[in-house]
Amino acid sequence: MYCIEARLLSKSYGNFMAVDNIDLQVPSGKIFGFLGPNGAGKTTTMKLLTTLIPPTGGQMNILGIDAIKSPLEVRKKIGVVLQQPSYEPTLSVEKALDKYGMMWNVEKNIRKDRVEELLVAFDLVDIRKKKNDDLSIGQRRRVQVAREFMHDMELLFLDEPTVGLDPSARRGLLDFIKGKVKDGLTIFFTTHILEEAEYLCDDIAIINKGKIIAVDTPGELKNKFGKEKTIKIHISEQKDISSLLAGIPECTIEHDSGVIITVRSSHSEQVLQDILKILASNDMAVEDLSVVPTSLEEIFLSVVKNSNA
């Protein structure tokens, strides 16, 4: 059963397609990572799915509800934390949490318990009496994310929730989210940080320039690209090495400075032998040579780069 199903979903501004005919299927009870560089269309997609802006094309079904026909019905069942900071300057941290629960008609006793739970979970106990205006950016962000957990929901949308958080708060938030998902919550999580998506998400979609360019589990992404290695060769004399290596099959030349050349390949052993042969037959001395697995970060960058080409 899918929590989110979108088909050919689009949003254009004039003739610019911010979201370009995307298809999405997000299973219930999972964390779905929506990953992409700045300006890729993550926030726009999230605003579409949460019915904050209307699409210019396509269909979407959220929690079994036709979200274009019945946006209000959808909004009652979801939580949304936008990228934009939002807080009440004059309220204390604990009052802000409580008031947010009140807005959602959460019963007083339940609110009281939840405020205590969230103050601890988001490391806000020491600043519970402080006014939001007097908090740091990271503290405000923690309050903003925490308050969303004051109400019950089936599906939560988080737009880059860890931006501005220090590493320990970041890890704390990711682990809190993981716990909530164990209890049955589904999360749609946007980030431009691959590591975060890898740590947290069951499935990852990569978006670039409004188009989805890959959908996979982190494990599958690694399977597909994990065999890929980066070979770095440092030769002693400036030479046009790219043209010498250009004919090697299954070998992508990534960078060539004249003396240092970096290539990527999923058949690194064969490619390495070919390279060494070519270097030897051209009397080129090697200063240094290394072969390292391509990191997921590089995979991400190269998937995005290829989609730009």
Q: Hunting for tokens 């929590």 — which residue is that? A: 3
Is the CB of residue 173 less than 8 Å from the CB of residue 161? Answer: yes
- For residue 245, what are the contacts with CB-CB under 8 A and spacing of at least 6? 251, 253, 261, 263, 274, 275, 278
Residue 44 binds: one of Mg ion, ligand ADP, none (C-beta under 5 to 8 A by kind): ligand ADP
Residue 302 binds: one of ligand ADP, Mg ion, none (C-beta under 5 to 8 A by kind): none
- The pairs formed by 193-197 with CB atoms below 8 angstroms and a separation of 24 or more are 193/162, 194/35, 194/296, 194/297, 194/300, 195/296, 195/297, 196/33, 196/162, 196/170, 197/33, 197/35
- b or e along 51-84 (b: 16 or more beta carbons within 10 Å of the residue's beta carbon)? beeebeebebbbbebebbeeeeebbeebbbbbee
**Least distance from Mg ion to the Cβ atom of residue 242, Å:** 37
**In the range 134-193, which residues lie near Mg ion by CB under 5 A?**
none
Is the CB of residue 119 less than 8 Å from the CB of residue 128? Answer: yes
Cα separation, 160 vs 88, in Å, equals 20
**In the range 27-56, which residues lie near Mg ion by CB under 5 A?**
42-43
Q: For Mg ion, which is the closer residue by CB, 36 or 218?
A: 36
**Least distance from ligand ADP to the Cβ atom of residue 124, Å:** 27
**Least distance from Mg ion to the Cβ atom of residue 190, Å:** 7
Q: For ligand ADP, which is the closer residue by CB, 99 or 211?
A: 211
How many residues touch ligand ADP under the rule CB under 6 A: the total is 10
**Least distance from ligand ADP to the Cβ atom of residue 307, Å:** 14
**In the range 30-69, which residues lie near ligand ADP by CB under 6 A?**
36, 38-44
**Least distance from Mg ion to the Cβ atom of residue 42, Å:** 5
How many residues touch Mg ion under the rule CB under 5 A: the total is 3
Q: For ligand ADP, which is the closer residue by CB, 12 or 295?
A: 12
Residue 41 binds: one of ligand ADP, Mg ion, none (C-beta under 5 to 8 A by kind): ligand ADP
- For residue 295, what are the contacts with CB-CB under 8 A and spacing of at least 6? none
Q: For Mg ion, which is the closer residue by CB, 43 or 50?
A: 43
Q: Which pair of tokens denotes residue 129?
A: 């009496």
Residue 268 binds: one of ligand ADP, Mg ion, none (C-beta under 5 to 8 A by kind): none
Q: Residue 115's closest CA among 81, 90, 91, 151?
A: 151
Amino acid present at 256: D
Q: For ligand ADP, which is the closer residue by CB, 40 or 169?
A: 40
Give the interface with ligand ADP as residue ranges (CB under 6 A): 13, 18, 36, 38-44
Give the interface with Mg ion as residue ranges (CB under 5 A): 42-43, 83
